[in-house]
């Protein structure tokens, strides 16, 4: 049950809106916010924050503003969340129910204007209402997915192209002059591929080179040295590097039968993992494929293509890493990245790290190699020193104590200025105890008791201004032992203990949240920059450092 709005108190209201990638209209956000604001104005509330995700499917829970909204709700930065309808949260029934329960558990009132949903209504009523609505939303998503797939299948059976633009080809629209679109122009009825004269020569060169024994890496490096634009050079990526040829791109192209004129569609599908939420590619049975042969699209001969496939199969059989799970992981694996291109530093041989973009095709100019033992000594030695040295640990405790005391003072001042928080907590405790006594269909008794405990702790903190010191002492006393255990894990990891290495690396990711940035200087030296946060063992603190390697 969400918080009861006290008379004379104005809640902090957040709005959330989203439109899907199949509804490319930014105005949809404005329409949703307009409906939400109408309800907020009618209640006399104030809007504290707005969150909007544009062109993002409701099946994807990793929407940035959606996650920001959930974080604000968890931190009690909002009191009411207003949305246009429940499908804006998610079109996945399980995800939607999980999020709504999280919001209600946190005391956030949820209002879906169009659906007429309000979490202040009776528990059984709102549970049935949202259950039916969420089921309809998920069914609608499935219907849209099936309709799109059915339409693409029909286009593929007409020998139209249904994918993106593959390297070596250009896209040619097929227009129907007898059929006009909304603007009076000939309607586009499909798309076909045409050979790109410039890129097709590069494709032929890649196949010919590999068939003659040249490696992926050498091919990629040669293309980069000549300044040949890569397939991703025009992509509008904001996170991953997109410029320059790398060995993996060469390998992917060499496997594509399209270059022999063999067009395939529906070969695989992406299925979401229910645990991680990530989409994984699954190959469909050949009976589901839609394929045809178009000799006008041939760039590579059948003989050359088969030679390439035979060599790739032989290479795969020789690479034992593919059978044993890949390379061993070390303490700094995945923690270092190149400042010039943003790519990870990876092991280029048995003992040295190198920028992966440079290693796999010279797509980056950072050619400085870094010995693993040197990196571990320079980056880990100062961390281990602080974790081992009693005076350093005490300094960490003192820093954490100062941070906590400052936090407590701020909260004490806030509680004096905002008595409505105490009123809200008192009302929440009354409701939670009643639900625990009478039973609740949505939450188990242990969940209710945990919520009561948290509310009581927060109430004591507000009343006492965090002056009792019990929680402070308990937290601070745990710092030395936590530091000691981490130092032991690091030591064992350096000695080759894989389990300890995995555990230590997970903690190091917390202590070094922004990872280790490696920058190449004009004199050829390599510098490591990282923000080490020792107080992250229990709370937040920071120390910055930069070291030459």
In the structure, what pLDDT confidence band is assigned to residue 539 with cuts at 50, 70 and 90? very low
Please state, in angstroms and rounded to a whole number, the distance separating the CA atoms of residues 320 and 322.
Answer: 5
- pLDDT grade for 246, boundaries at 50, 70 and 90: confident
Q: Are 321 and 328 in contact (CB under 8 A)?
A: no
Range from 221-235, 459-473, 525-539 that averages highest in pLDDT: 221-235
Neighbours of 315 (CB within 10 A): 14
What integer is the mean pLDDT of 83-89?
88
Neighbouring C-beta atoms of residue 358, cutoff 10 Å: 25
Highest mean pLDDT among 85-94, 411-420, 432-441, 483-492: 85-94
302 with 310: CB under 8 angstroms? no
For residues 240 and 526, the model is more confident at 526
| Of 364 and 493, the one with more pLDDT | 364
Q: What is the pLDDT of residue 441?
A: 65
Calculate what percentage of the chain has a pLDDT beyond 90.
19
Cβ 153 vs Cβ 145: under 8 Å: no
Antiparallel, parallel or unpaired: β 336-338 and 290-293: unpaired
State pLDDT tens for residues 208-228: 999 988 888 889 888 988 889
pLDDT digits (tens, 9 = 90+) for 56-68: 776 777 788 898 8
> Residue 433: pLDDT band by 50, 70, 90 thresholds?
confident
Q: Is the pTM of this model over 0.75?
A: no
312, pLDDT greater than 70: yes
Q: Is 60 exceeded by the pLDDT of residue 418?
A: no
394-407 mean pLDDT: 66
Q: Which two tokens stand for residue 392?
A: 């350093």
In this predicted structure, what is the pLDDT of residue 2?
Answer: 47
**What pLDDT was estimated at residue 333?**
77
Residue 396: in which H helix or E strand, if any?
helix 390-417
Q: What is the pLDDT of residue 249?
A: 87
> How would residue 248 be classed by pLDDT, with cut points 50, 70 and 90?
confident
What gap in Å lies between CA 103 and CA 303, rounded to an integer? 61
Mean pLDDT of 343-369: 84
CB 241 within 8 A of CB 362: no
Confidence of residue 545 (pLDDT cuts 50, 70, 90): very low
For residue 143, the model assigns a pLDDT of 76
Query: If pLDDT is split at 50, 70 and 90, which confidence band does 455 have?
Result: confident
Residue 384: pLDDT band (50, 70, 90) is confident
Q: Please, what's the b/e burial string for 234-262 (b: 16 or more CB within 10 A of its CB; e: otherwise)?
A: eeeeeeebbbbbbbebbbebbebebbbbb
Whole-angstrom Cα distance, residue 93 to residue 135?
A: 6
Q: What are the start-end ranges of the E strands in 372-411?
A: none
At residue 543, the pLDDT reads 38
**pLDDT for position 549:** 55
Mean per-residue pLDDT of the chain: 78
CB 501 within 8 A of CB 509: no
Confidence of residue 544 (pLDDT cuts 50, 70, 90): very low
User: 10 Å Cβ neighbour count for 216?
Assistant: 24
Which residue bears the tokens 């088969």?
A: 306
Instruction: Please report the pLDDT score of residue 330 as a whole number.
Output: 78
CA atoms within 13 A on the CB side of 494: 15
Above 50 in pLDDT, residue 505?
A: yes
- DSSP strand pairing (109-112 vs 80-83): parallel
Q: How far apart are CA 438 and CA 283, in angstroms?
A: 51
Higher pLDDT, 301 or 73: 301
**pLDDT tens digits, one per residue of 101-149:** 888 888 889 999 988 888 887 766 677 767 777 677 677 777 777 888 8
User: For 9-18, 385-394, 405-414, which range has the lowest pLDDT when averaged over its residues?
Assistant: 405-414
Q: Rounded mean pLDDT of 445-468?
A: 65
pLDDT surpasses 80 at 83: yes
For the cut 90, the answer to whether the pLDDT of residue 507 exceeds it is: no
pLDDT exceeds cutoff 80 at 307 = yes
């Amino acid at each position: 049950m969400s918080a009861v709005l006290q008379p004379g108190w104005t809640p902090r209201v957040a709005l959330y809106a989203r439109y899907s990638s199949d509804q490319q209209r930014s105005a949809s956000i404005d329409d949703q916010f307009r409906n939400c604001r109408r309800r907020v104005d009618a209640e006399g509330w104030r809007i504290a924050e707005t969150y909007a995700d544009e062109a993002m499917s409701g099946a994807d829970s990793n929407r940035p503003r959606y996650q920001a909204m959930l974080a604000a709700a968890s931190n009690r930065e909002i009191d009411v969340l207003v949305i246009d309808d429940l499908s804006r949260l998610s079109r996945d029934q399980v995800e939607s129910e999980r999020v709504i329960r999280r919001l209600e558990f946190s005391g956030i009132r949820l209002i879906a204007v169009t659906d007429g949903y309000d979490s202040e209504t009776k528990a059984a009523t709102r549970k049935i209402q949202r259950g039916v609505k969420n089921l309809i939303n998920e069914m609608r998503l499935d219907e849209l997915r099936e309709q799109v797939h059915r339409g693409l299948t029909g286009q593929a059976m007409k020998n139209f192209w249904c994918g993106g633009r593959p390297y070596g080809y250009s896209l040619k629209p097929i227009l129907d002059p007898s059929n006009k679109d909304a603007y009076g122009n000939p309607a586009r009825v499909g798309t076909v591929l045409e050979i790109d004269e410039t890129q097709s020569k590069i494709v032929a060169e890649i196949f010919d080179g590999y068939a003659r024994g040249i490696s992926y890496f050498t091919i990629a490096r040669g293309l980069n040295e000549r300044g040949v634009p890569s397939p991703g050079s025009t992509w509008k990526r904001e996170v991953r590097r997109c410029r320059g040829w790398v060995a993996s791109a060469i390998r992917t192209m060499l496997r594509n039968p399209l270059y022999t004129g063999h067009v395939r569609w529906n070969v695989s599908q992406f299925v979401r993992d229910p645990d991680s939420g990530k989409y994984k590619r699954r190959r469909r049975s050949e009976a589901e494929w839609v394929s045809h042969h178009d000799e006008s699209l041939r760039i590579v001969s059948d003989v050359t293509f088969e030679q390439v496939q035979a060599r790739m199969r032989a290479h795969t059989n020789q690479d034992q890493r593919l059978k044993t799970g890949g390379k061993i992981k070390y303490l700094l694996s995945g923690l270092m990245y190149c400042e010039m291109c943003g790519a990870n530093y990876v092991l280029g041989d048995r003992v040295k790290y190198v920028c992966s973009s440079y290693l796999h095709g010279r797509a980056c100019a950072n050619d400085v190699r870094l010995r693993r033992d040197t990196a571990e000594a320079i980056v880990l030695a100062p961390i281990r020193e602080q974790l081992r040295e009693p005076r350093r640990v005490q300094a960490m405790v003192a820093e954490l104590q100062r941070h906590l005391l400052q936090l407590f003072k701020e909260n004490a001042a806030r509680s004096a200025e905002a008595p409505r928080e105490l009123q809200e907590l008192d009302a929440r405790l009354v409701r939670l105890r009643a639900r625990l006594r009478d039973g609740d269909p949505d939450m188990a008794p242990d969940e209710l008791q945990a919520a009561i405990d948290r509310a009581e702790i927060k109430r004591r903190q507000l009343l006492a201004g965090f002056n009792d010191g019990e929680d402070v002492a308990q937290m601070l006393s745990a710092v030395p032992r936590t530091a000691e255990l981490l130092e032991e894990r690091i030591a064992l990891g350096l000695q080759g203990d894989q389990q300890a290495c995995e555990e230590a690396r997970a903690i190091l990711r917390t202590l070094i949240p922004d990872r280790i940035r490696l920058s190449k200087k004009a004199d050829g030296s390599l510098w490591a920059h990282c923000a080490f946060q020792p107080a992250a063992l229990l709370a937040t603190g920071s120390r910055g450092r930069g070291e030459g390697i």
